[in-house]
Amino acid sequence: MDSVDLEVLKTCAQWLQAGRKCELVTVIKTWGSSPRPEGAMLAICEDGRVVGSVSGGCIEDDLIERVRNEGIVRLLPEIVTYGISADEAHRFGLPCGGTIQLALEPISEQSRIAELLQRLSQHELVARRLDLISGEVRLETAAAGMSLQVSTSALTTIHGPRWRLLIIGAGQLSRFLASIALGMDYQVTVCDPREEYRDGWQVEGVPLVHAMPDDLVLAMQLDSRSAVLALTHDPKLDDLALMEALKSPAFYVGAIGSRINNAKRRERLKEFDLTDADLAKLHGPVGLYIGSKTPAEIAISILAEMTAVKNNVFLPKEIQVQHAKSAAAQPHTADVCLPEN
């Protein structure tokens, strides 16, 4: 599964190779509320086909109508703004006061989309600098903390996996997690040294590393854009890796298991050189309480919690697995309000 941005870039390359004219549309600035964030992209073909999105749909409709009526005649990049007036905000489906600014770029060989895709296939984080005056493009290696930059003369967008996820264990749940995380713009690595899992891993774009998990955690040099999930249920594999991950700057460290096993895990981890602050970073039982039963549902539950933490969204304890299940087990559960899903 490709991320939306990668799908947009691949589609541009395919249209260009087929001899079709197309444009790349990028959200470069928003004011007030906006349906799509800065950096969101859309590709539009000369026949009106689109991939990706820059709004709730109305701006896309306007772009499609203009292409169908006028064709793609733009030779150089252009900046356009939607939603300045209240009437425009209503027409284009923007929230009250919302304004969105877009860069419209005609795609050609000098756009270097094929080269960008080749570098992205190597899991490289790339800064693409578009000269807004000449249309020339320069590609450079980007740092993890870089973000979209725009001036009167240039637009720099960042492409590639800006977040990393290490999954310990190559079971069925890991396959769902890895597949979905790929579409969420994560660079995913799965680690499992067990022989019985060597031949069963088949998620394209996600390598299976047969190393000891704690060694791999150290080798990856986790930073604040990294997450670790321990899913083996085997303390010999999970505990040492969690110990190293909890001492790292990783924004999320989680482990699957029951409330009883989670309590035992925390007691074991106390025997290592971990502070109370380190242990407080551990999410376990991992995920949000949505009544999940199947591996696919559990994967959604875990990634929902991980996304909230990444986005600095406060999660009340009532929707966390441990607290929700504890509440359900108490007497007078009819008076306990739990999420329906």
Express as a percent the part of the chain with pLDDT over 90: 62
Task: Count other C-beta atoms under 10 Å from residue 257's C-beta.
Answer: 18
Smallest CA-to-CA distance from 118 within 3, 1, 13 is with 13
Q: Is the pLDDT of residue 337 over 80?
A: no
Q: According to the model, what pLDDT value does residue 155 have?
A: 97
Residues in the chain: 341
Residue 151, SS3? coil
Q: What's the pLDDT tens digit per position in 282-305?
A: 999 899 998 888 999 999 999 999
Q: Could you identify the residue written with the tokens 């190293």? A: 244
Say which residues have a Cβ less than 8 Å from residue 237's Cβ, sequence separation at least 6.
Answer: 168, 169, 192, 193, 194, 212, 213, 230
In whole angstroms, what is the distance from residue 5 CA to residue 159 CA?
8
Query: pTM (2 decimals)?
Result: 0.71
Q: What's the pLDDT tens digit per position in 73-126?
A: 999 999 999 875 666 666 666 655 578 899 999 999 999 999 999 998 887 889
Smallest CA-to-CA distance from 106 within 224, 26, 5, 186 is with 26
Say which residues have a Cβ less than 8 Å from residue 85's Cβ, sequence separation at least 6.
Answer: none
pLDDT band at 339 (very low <50, low <70, confident <90, very high): very low
Give the per-residue SS3 of 294-331. Answer: CHHHHHHHHHHHHHHHHCCCCCCHHHEHHHHHHHHHCC
Q: According to the model, what pLDDT value does residue 247 have?
A: 94
User: Which ranges of the chain would DSSP assign to H, the alpha helix?
Assistant: 4-17, 58-70, 86-91, 113-121, 172-183, 213-220, 235-246, 259-269, 276-280, 295-310, 321-329
Query: What CATH superfamily is the domain 163-327?
Result: NAD(P)-binding Rossmann-like Domain (3.40.50.720)
Lowest mean pLDDT among 82-86, 124-128, 200-204, 258-262: 82-86
For the chain, give every domain's residue range.
4-159, 163-327
In whole angstroms, what is the distance from residue 99 CA to residue 142 CA?
29
Q: According to the model, what pLDDT value does residue 92 have?
A: 65
Q: Output helix, strand, coil percentages for the chain, rounded to the nearest 5.
A: 35, 25, 40
